[in-house]
Chain A
Amino acid sequence: MQTLGEHKLPHFFNYPPYFTLQPVRETREKQIQVWKELILDYCRTQKVFIIGLEQDFPLFSNPAIERSLNHEAREAFLSALVLDGRAEWMDKSHRQCLILWHRIKDWADIILRFVNENGLEDSVMTIEEIRSGIESRGTDIHGMDRTVLMRALKLLENKGKLAIFKGTSTDDEGVKFSV
């Protein structure tokens, strides 16, 4: 089986029509579905949060068969993810896409579990500590995208599970958990 970095690729990655946006509706729907799964799976294992449409994204080309997705196809597959709520365009011109391989509420649950497991129920942490501290190492939270983290924390704040306080700079933005 072919691999991309450490990511295993399915066999059909070598199927040339996989890289051409199919015009027949039924076939295209199936193709889009398969692409969505592969993109989410890849982003999850490689901890990718942002896909730039105009930048090289390893998944969007297969040098072995000399095929790559054109812009239209990339946008079609990412738009399908956006419709599913598994991605968001970061700008109006659809140049960058934020991939939510966990939905925001799933992220919030993961953070809560993290807090419980580490006994941080009443403590104070900076955002940077959560993303890159010792405690989060080995979890999905480690190295997660700041935008996604902030949105998950906001959701928890609205539920009264924590309070976000602003510091003098983004570096000392922090949260106080009150689970």
Chain B
Amino acid sequence: MSGNWLLPAETTSSGRPVLQPAEVESSLQPSVDLVNEENPNLPIFKSGLLILTTYRLLWLPNPESTTSAPTSTAVAVPLAAITHIFQSKKSIKGMFASPRVRFQVSVTPDGKVQERGSKSIVITLVFRGKSDPDSFVVKLNEAWRGRAWVGAVSASGAGQSSTPAVLGDSGGSSSSNTGLALKMPVVGVSGILRKEQEMWESTDKSLQDAFQDLNALMTKAKDMVILAEKMRQKLLSSSNSQSNSTNDEETASKEEMQEWMLSVGIVSPVTKESAGALYHQELSRQLADFVKTPLERAGGIMNLIDIYCLFNRARGTELISPDDLLRACSLWDKFNVPVMLKKFESGVMVIQNKSHSDEEVFSRIRSLVQKPDAMKTGISATDAARTLGIAPAMAKEHLLAAESKGFLCRDVSPDGFRFYINIFQDIDPNDVYLVKEYGVYDAWNRAAIASR
């Protein structure tokens, strides 16, 4: 019998757990063993990373100690299946052994962990690292009693159901708010307007409450994400139903709004509080997962500053410092992630896909500057950015790299900073009037004469 008495847990390619919607990590503990006490014959999950979320207990194998793919052995215990958490007993003996935390879970008759199972077993966690099991137990209790998963099931249900249900839901909440007030009949345009007004007021209130202080915001974080999701749904539905009547501008602004909504959220940011000593490592993995989408959109390469802004915007309240970001990026060398940090000669730092090759960009620049128009007027960083589909700052770095290889020449004038194909190598210093009938000088000359 193998480890399939526990539920499998999905992980990303960089070894971060895949969390469910609105699931939040609350504690990370390194080097933890997970032992089934009832049946010692079962394989012990040895010295892995234990992650406590608001929904589950996740156990991930230590990436340094295993050679197999980490996805194959990551397991989870749903908090819903936990029936009892034992208080840890303080004893003299316990002072020398590794600290242990024991809890009871319900299982199916054949020993699989399941919510509302008929039998129950005891699982022991052994903390081998330098960690603080007491605070972990507190957090485990908090999460277990918080029963966040109960709300989640209904929330996801509402998200999946049709849009009118969502609207009805918000309408219901507003009517319950005004339950004590004199109820006005909802009639005609003014009724709709009033209803709209009420809805905005309640939204406004929850926004204001959220910004009272950061703690309040954290408790409201889940509501905010739900709110954002609702607004997205509403936007989607209205753009569908009114697609005929709305003009392009409105559709564009709605799409923009949707983008913002989508970028609202990493629901469970890795924080110093939850990850402790593992902070930079976990941050690094989370970052690697996060940058994939923006990188793809930006053509495989992005400025570190842009990533910093995007990442912090996605994190919402748990902002990281530039220093933390840099450390997280420099840890990528140690993990098997598809992205890398690169430093240009000018000092500009970028994040790029490992598959992204400078050679390819170089050859694209080569073909760009050899077009007749570019021969004649040169190319600016903006032109290159447009053609290559990358940010102008990045394009400039690539152009400067091509220049330092002697392939391009610069032209600095009141018109701006432009690059031309380098023809100096084809000019004969002994006879400056000679134009050989081949090579770039000749090609440039033809382009220049043709334009005159």
Tell me the bound Cα distance from A38 to B431 in angstroms: 10
Stretch of A18-26, A89-97, A170-178 at the chain-chain interface: A18-26
Residue-wise interface mask of A (11-36) relative to B, using a CB-CB cutoff of 8 A (1 in contact, 0 not): 11011110110111011001101100
Beta-carbon contact of B420 and A15 below 8 Å: yes
Q: Per-position contact with A for B413-441: 1 when CB-CB < 8 Å, else 0?
A: 11100101011110101101101000001
Main secondary structure of the interface of B (DSSP, over half): mixed
Which A-chain residue is minimally distant from B427 (CB atoms)? A34
Look across to chain A and name the residue whose beta carbon is closest to the beta carbon of B430: A37
Answer yes or no: A8 CB below 8 A from chain B CBs.
yes
Q: Convert B393-431 into 0s and 1s, putting 1 for each residue whose CB lies closer than 8 angstroms to a CB of A.
A: 000000000011010011111110010101111010110
Is there an interface contact between A24 and B418, defined as CB atoms closer than 8 Å? no
- A15-B423, A27-B406 are known contacts. Are A20 and B411 too (CB-CB below 8 A)? yes
CB contacts (< 8 Å) of A37 on chain B: these are: 429-430, 432
A10 contacts the other chain (CB 8 A): yes
Docked pose: A14 CA to B425 CA in angstroms = 16
Chain A-chain B contacts (Cβ-Cβ < 8 Å), number:
69
> A67 to chain B: which residues have CB within 8 Å?
411, 413
Nearest residue (CB) in B for A21 is B412
The residues of B with any CB-CB pair to A shorter than 8 Å are 378, 403-404, 406, 409-415, 418, 420, 422-425, 427, 429-430, 432-433, 435, 441, 444-445, 448
A27 adjacent to B422 (CB under 8 Å) = yes
- State in angstroms the CA–CA spacing of A66 and B409 once bound together: 17
Residues of A within 8 A of B445 (CB): 11
Q: How far is the CB of B452 from chain A (nearest CB, A)?
A: 9
**Number of A residues, CB within 8 Å of B:** 24
Complex partner residue of A12 from B378, B403, B411, B423, CB under 8 angstroms: B423
Docked CA distance A22–B400 (Å): 12
Chain A residues lying within 8 Å of B413, measured Cβ to Cβ, are 16, 19-20, 66-67
Contact residues in B for A19 (Cβ distance below 8 Å): 411, 413
Query: Across the two chains, which residue of chain A brings its CB closest to B449?
Result: A11
- A12-B427, A27-B406, A37-B432 known; A20+B422 contact, CB < 8 A: no
Q: Are B433 and A10 in contact (CB under 8 A)?
A: yes
Given contacts A12-B441, A19-B411, 17 further A-B contacts (CB under 8 A): A8-B433, A10-B427, A11-B445, A12-B423, A16-B378, A16-B411, A17-B409, A17-B411, A17-B422, A23-B410, A27-B422, A30-B427, A30-B429, A33-B429, A34-B424, A34-B432, A66-B414
